[in-house]
A and B are shown apart, each in its own frame.
Chain A
């Protein structure tokens, strides 16, 4: 299916465990983004990527790792999950150029217990 998909949609994990959230887009967009959404904070950028093998930190990168070996995939890994990382995570992609919007996935609701 065309578009941007995230998996899983829901995930419960324990404190200290490693967890990876997947993001896949079919448009060959250059830019990809990871945001977290928390009540009272809106959307905050965790990491973004301008192309394969090019990633950069956003506003709240601590505790997260990303990679982008292929243009279409942009996984987000929590190396040692903490309760403060309980959130809804959104992946987005954009063709770049400023006048193009970001397209969002459906989100992953992560609960760390």
Chain B
């Protein structure tokens, strides 16, 4: 069975500082990995995804993520945090058929002025 863990339910950074959110997964098949963002009272919006190929993937709003198979990790980063980045971030893994998305518990990002 697939599972996803995210280190830290709440992360605080200062505006302009590096954002680093950690995600580890378990999957019996080559994974497809996703990061989603959720703003208050809204649905989830895709930030980026890893399917195959390059292990460093770029997403929207200046975010990027690195897939490390040996560490079963999919780490999300942004070089410089902006106040508008404050939101809940979810890591997810999908199977080969896209019929089973498993989400991590989420990390709430606060950006301090």
Contacts and interface: CB of A to CB of B under 8 A. Distances in A.
Interface residues of B, number: 27
Interface stretch (A67-75, A79-87, A104-112): A104-112
Contacts of B32: 98-99
A23 to B, nearest CB: 11
A33 B105 contact: no
B67 interface: no
Given A99-B52, A105-B43, A50 B99 contact: yes
A100 B92 CA distance: 12
Given A42-B103, A42-B104, A43-B103, A97 B97 contact: yes
Contacts of A90: 43-44
Interface in A87-105: 90, 92, 94-105
Contacts of B25: none
Given A96-B97, A101-B46, 15 more contacts: A31-B99, A42-B90, A42-B103, A43-B90, A90-B43, A90-B44, A92-B101, A95-B98, A96-B99, A98-B95, A98-B97, A99-B52, A102-B94, A104-B44, A106-B43
Interface of A: 31, 33, 35, 40-43, 45, 48, 50, 90, 92, 94-107
Interface of B: 32, 34, 36, 41-46, 49, 51-52, 90, 92, 94-106
Which 5 residue pairs across A and B have the least CB separation, nearest first? A104-B43, A99-B51, A42-B105, A96-B98, A43-B103
